[in-house]
Amino acid sequence: MRRIRKVEAADTEAVLTVMQAARGIMRSSGNLHQWGDGYPSAAVIDRDRGLGGGFVVEDDGLVTGYFAFLPSPEPTYSYIEGGAWLDDSLPYHVIHRIASFPDAHGIFRDMLAWCAEREPNIRIDTHRDNRIMQHLLEKHGFAYCGVIYLASGDERLAYQRIKI
């Protein structure tokens, strides 16, 4: 049985294991640069937890996925290049740090359904080399909106979906 719940401090090691597996998926699919230098770290997961926006996906009691679901505003989304948000006036939530084990199928679909029940206006960004995530976003009705820049200056492809 699959369920989604808030991350707890005791979940940190399990979440980091999921993150390492997701990093492996990225590397094997040609995404060699996203999530480098130990990112996301335990401190990032703790920050998500402190904000009330870190969530684990469990299958039969085992942590098989993770994501952050955080309310607007997202500071790095204030400027978008080469396009525009579908709507820039409504509140939104952002999904960050989506990760799962390679054999845990349907995590993205279930996570997205869970998020959409709570917020119809969702934004997300991904690395240009993350072809798997780009495919999933397009498959699930997200529109490509342009390029945003992280605080580090790294670019990300930005997407939005509004279900009203």
Over residues 64-76, the pLDDT tens digits come to 999 999 999 999 9
Q: How many domains does the chain have?
A: 1
Q: How far apart are CA 96 and CA 91, in angstroms?
A: 17
Q: How far apart are CA 158 and CA 147, in angstroms?
A: 6
Quickly state the pLDDT bin for 36 (edges 50, 70, 90): confident
- CATH code of the domain in which 137 resides: 3.40.630.30
Quote the pTM value. 0.95
Q: What is the mean pLDDT of residues 32-40?
A: 90
Q: Is the pLDDT of residue 121 over 90?
A: yes
Find the domain containing 116 and state its range. 2-162
Which two three-digit tokens encode residue 124? 């997300």
